[in-house]
Amino acid sequence: MRQQDKIPFRKIISMVSLLNVVSDHVICPVNSNNESDFYEYEYLDETYDLCIPGCSVCDYLDRFILVLPTDADQRRILWEYLYENHVTDYEHMIDTDHNLQCIQQMLDILQNKIHSSELNVLDFGCGTGLSAKAVFPGRIYGYDMNKNMREAASQKGMKVMEEKEFWTLPKEYFHGILASYAFHMAIRVQEIEKLVFILKKEGILVANYYKEMDCERINNMLTFFHMSIVERIEDRRFGQIYVYRK
């Protein structure tokens, strides 16, 4: 039996500058695009997460090995590249029931903690709009940086904002915000500032952190913008869920 037949296939996605980190494990390059500064490889080995000076290596969605740069701006470029080019059939790559349960738990938290007869909620990084299937008495708006995701969410009947609409949202517009499996993707400080800006006073933000990635960085930004952590839920299924109040 060839090695390829028995070991799960994964694709390594790396910035060219970090190539040497994974070169020992590379089986064969499948694509190199020097213009966009990325290398892709087929990878056939055990799964692993590693921390190496200059980057971290993360097993993602059981199909990718991501070589993530330490620098957040660079990391963001890699996440955008991955979602633009490879996560084109998102719902077939994830367990949608699992994500929907995570979203439902977040919406339940928002409903319990927000004391208002009206509930306007933003699903930040809404993906394909799974929250449209959740049980919630208020109105859910979606926003995603990825155009294909926004289109898929719209098709589910979600009220989806385009980038311009998101950035021009007025102060204190939402009672609550949820971010399900989105805050690990190198969120920018301007985006965190905007999220705090559009949240009402006493409003609630709830987010989980995939593999705890970027948790400390986002917590530092949120506390800088005067959000307080009101609860931290250790959840075996969804990682750490943080609840913040403005």
Ligand X SMILES: C[S@@+](CC[C@H](N)C(=O)[O-])C[C@H]1O[C@@H](n2cnc3c(N)ncnc32)[C@H](O)[C@@H]1O
Residues found near ligand X in the complex (CB under 6 A): 83, 99, 103, 125-127, 130, 143-146, 149, 180-182, 185, 187, 191
Q: Report the relative pairing of strands 120-124 and 174-179 from DSSP bridges.
A: parallel
Q: How far is the CB of 34 from ligand X (least distance, A)?
A: 25
Q: How far is the CB of 20 from ligand X (least distance, A)?
A: 28
Mapped onto helix, strand or coil, the DSSP state of residue 147 is helix
Cα(114)–Cα(103) distance, rounded to whole angstroms?
16
Q: How far is the CB of 126 from ligand X (least distance, A)?
A: 6
**What is the amino acid identity at position 219?**
N
DSSP state of 185: S
| Closer residue to ligand X, CB minimum distance, 64 or 83 | 83
Give residue number: closest CB to ligand X.
Answer: 127
| Closer residue to ligand X, CB minimum distance, 13 or 130 | 130
| Closer residue to ligand X, CB minimum distance, 65 or 182 | 182
The alpha carbon dihedral of 12, 16, 53, 192 has a sign of negative
Question: SS3 breakdown of the chain: % helix, strand, coil, rounded to 5?
Answer: 35, 30, 30
Among residues 203, 198, 201, 245, which one has the least CA distance to residue 222? Answer: 245
Cα(174)–Cα(197) distance, rounded to whole angstroms?
9
Q: How far is the CB of 14 from ligand X (least distance, A)?
A: 20
Q: How far is the CB of 211 from ligand X (least distance, A)?
A: 12
| Closer residue to ligand X, CB minimum distance, 40 or 191 | 191
| Closer residue to ligand X, CB minimum distance, 47 or 116 | 47
